[in-house]
Amino acid sequence: MISSDIIPQSVRDLQGETLQFTDSSGKKLTLLINPWKIVVMKSARTGFTSILENAIGYHADYDPCPTLMAQPRVEDARRWSKISLAPLFRDTPALQGILRETRVKDSNNTILEKHFPGGFIRVIGAKSPDGFRGITVRLFLFDELDSAPLSAGSEGAPLQLGERRTATVWNRKVIVGSTPTIAGISAIEFQYAISNQMHYYVPCPRCRHFQILVFSPKSMWAQPSWRLGDTMMIGELTKGYLKFDPDNCTWTYYLCEHCKEEISEQHKNAMVASGQWRAAVPEVVDIAGFHVSELYSPFNTSWLLMAKDFLVAKQQIESLRVFINQRTGETFEELDALTLNESVLLQRVEDYENVPEGAYLLTAGADIQGDRIEVIVRAWGDGDESWLLEHVVLPGSPHEHFVWDLLDDYLHKEFLHARSTPKRPVKLRIRCAFIDSSAYTTDVYRFTAPREGRGIFSIKGHDGSRKLFTPSGRDRRTHAALYILGVDDAKQKIYDRLQKKLTEEWKPGMPVPGYMHFNKHATLSYFQQLTSERRIRKVTRKGVSLIWDLPRGRRNEVLDMEVYALCAMELIRPVWDRVKINFAKHLKELSDSGPLESREDSEEESMRPRFIGRSKSKWPSKI
């Protein structure tokens, strides 16, 4: 058990229940003595980082040794060192005075490396292999493993690089934890699979039957055992689960798998206090693995609150993924893209031509081919609900000027809004358009450079995990700005939203956050291209990853254009409440002042992407 002297006063004041949580987890801490590696697959905000900090403080004071702490990125390492590590040494009574005063220049006391009598702690970002070189440590800690890159540079998995730093130490200790991500490629899931796979069993207050707590009967621990590589993940551990009112969530209770009685949340703390860790694979003795769910946590949560949050999260795949990963501490099983059948999607086509009610903003994506330029225009509303307006093909070689004139004229087009009347037409223009510059790069740059004031930019898509859009400077010759798009995440967003369905009660005009609407411009060929790519698991020298694969003979121009239109929307990202208020005011002004040829109010002007400053060397940015 960790003494209160090893917990900074600032942390005790901030977290309050930290000591109680540590005390109630006494069994968990005592189990850290024998195995050389500890794996914790957990939900978010369960106190794991505080446990790592406690371990650092314990060794600095009582059993000093060389220590290595890995965060996903160098930025994370610096932030954690300033926010958590510095207060640990500054505010903890037992650690005060171990380090030099920070105002004294000392190479042994920096943000990322601190020395104390008998040992040191180095904090590194897992992305760079340099931090792993030149040291031998006894204690290696890794926080948020799944957020780290698959490889540190080109030298391999960062966890294995860190473990090698401890290989020659007889009493080494490796502690790694993370919230999981995608089933099958989650690094913490694999580490948990090779451990003894411990779960926390709590007794039913009525029948005293011990069981684990899971949120849903679809929990990964309620499913049959499955193979993960060469290792078997043990399932079918429980038949109990949390039950709640699916309509308005006025009640919730846990269903005991043995006596089938209702367990109210008032018994939770007593159940947890009487619980015990049990290993599903007890023959593994050198690696201890723990799974921790928010269902057990006493911190700022309740079963009722989890149920309410789930009812909101399940409306969109993106938010459901966050709930499963960070609230239940389980991996998310990606929906197979094969379930996106183009014939089924064709049935979603609706009958509308103008900008529908609820849409206030238009973006476009253009794909450049050898004999044509294809463009789609999508309208956007609150909650990222969107409507396809048009898909056009402009015939002609990109080397010819006339096809670019056609594109310029089209991007000037005004689209009639559903709120229009014969005497009061309301029209919207395209506020941002992304043009692919992967092919015919110079021609695209020459087209977009003088039109950036209209929100027309050159882009290039990059595979891999990255932000939806990143400014990448300007071309030296044409001075065109360039955005790099993270197409993998954008495609996943689109596929997630295509899984969303309308309810039977839905009627045109009813808002459906995240839903993608389509009109007659979406033909069978359109949907075939939209669903052309498949996300598959691929083993590389950096590990197992998910990649987007285009089968031989399939076309994907539509998917690319939808990605560009989505990223253009993310670049603008308006405040929808303000947009709707201003739009309503604008309609009222029109009723008083007469007809309008094009909506050019100040709100739309503020949503147009711009660049900071007038210097040609400035990078693109948004307001």
| Residues 399-409 pLDDT 10s | 999 999 999 99
In this model, does residue 31 exceed pLDDT 60?
no
Number of domains in the chain: 2
pLDDT at position 77 is 93
pLDDT in tens, 212-255: 999 999 999 998 888 887 788 898 899 999 999 988 888 999 99
CATH number, residue 39 = 3.40.50.300
pLDDT at position 543 is 57
pLDDT at position 28 is 40
Q: What's the mean per-residue pLDDT of the chain?
A: 84
- Tell me if 278 sits within 8 A of 199, measured CB to CB: yes
Flag whether 336 is in a domain.
Answer: no
Name the one residue in this structure whose structure tokens are 């009582």. Answer: 62
In this model, does residue 389 exceed pLDDT 60?
yes
Q: What is the dihedral of CA 81, 82, 87, 88, to 10 degrees?
A: 0
Coil/strand/helix, residue 230: coil
Coil/strand/helix, residue 151: coil
Whole-number Å distance between alpha carbons of 211 and 272: 11
The residue with greater pLDDT, 29 or 327, is: 327
In this model, does residue 339 exceed pLDDT 50?
yes
- Tell me if 365 sits within 8 A of 560, measured CB to CB: yes
Flag whether 242 is in a domain.
Answer: no
pLDDT at position 601 is 43
Mean of pLDDT values over 360-385: 95
The residue with greater pLDDT, 563 or 468, is: 563
- Tell me if 539 sits within 8 A of 386, measured CB to CB: no
pLDDT in tens, 418-474: 888 887 888 899 999 999 999 999 999 999 999 999 999 999 998 876 778 888 889
Q: Which of 116, 146, 178 is the C-terminal boundary of a domain?
A: 178
Tokens describing residue 24? 């109630």
SS (H, E, C) 413-437: CEEEECCCECCECCEEEEEEEEEEC
Flag whether 390 is in a domain.
Answer: yes
Whole-number Å distance between alpha carbons of 50 and 177: 12
CATH number, residue 474 = 3.30.420
- The residue segments making up the domain with residue 513 are 350-607
215: nearest Cα among 318, 334, 303, 85? 303
Whole-number Å distance between alpha carbons of 157 and 176: 13
Q: Which of 156, 178, 200 is the C-terminal boundary of a domain?
A: 178
Whole-number Å distance between alpha carbons of 482 and 461: 11
Whole-number Å distance between alpha carbons of 304 and 101: 48
Flag whether 68 is in a domain.
Answer: yes
In this model, does residue 348 exceed pLDDT 70?
yes
Tokens describing residue 426? 């309301």
Q: Which of 178, 213, 240 is the C-terminal boundary of a domain?
A: 178
pLDDT at position 71 is 94
pLDDT in tens, 181-219: 988 888 999 999 999 999 999 999 999 999 999 999 999
Flag whether 372 is in a domain.
Answer: yes
pTM of the model: 0.69
In this model, does residue 13 exceed pLDDT 50?
no
Coil/strand/helix, residue 160: helix
Mean of pLDDT values over 72-84: 93
- Tell me if 142 sits within 8 A of 159, measured CB to CB: yes
Q: Cβ contacts of residue 317 below 8 Å, gap of 6+?
A: 335, 496, 497, 499, 500
Percentage of the chain lying above the pLDDT 70 cut = 85
Coil/strand/helix, residue 49: helix
Q: 124 forms bridges with which residues in the sheet?
A: 70
DSSP H helical ranges for 187-264? 187-193
Mean of pLDDT values over 571-594: 81
pLDDT at position 144 is 93
